[in-house]
Amino acid sequence: MGVEIERKFLLADSSWKHNARGLVFRQAYLSTDPDRTVRVRLVEVEADKRQGWVTIKGRATGPVRAEFEYPIPAEDAEAMIETLCLDSAIEKTRYRVDHAGDVWEIDEFSGANAGLVVAEIELDSAEQPFASPPWLGLEVTDDPRYTNARLSVEPFTHWPS
Dmax over CA atoms of the chain, in Å, equals: 42
Q: Is residue 133 within 8 Å of residue 18, measured between CB atoms?
A: no
User: CA-to-CA distance for 82 and 14, rounded, in angstroms?
Assistant: 33
Q: Is residue 24 within 8 Å of residue 32, measured between CB atoms?
A: no
What number of residues does the chain have? 161
Q: Is residue 30 within 8 Å of residue 85, measured between CB atoms?
A: yes
DSSP conformation class of 14: S
CA distances from 19 to 14, 63, 98 (A): 12, 29, 11
70 is catalytic: no
Catalytic residues: 29
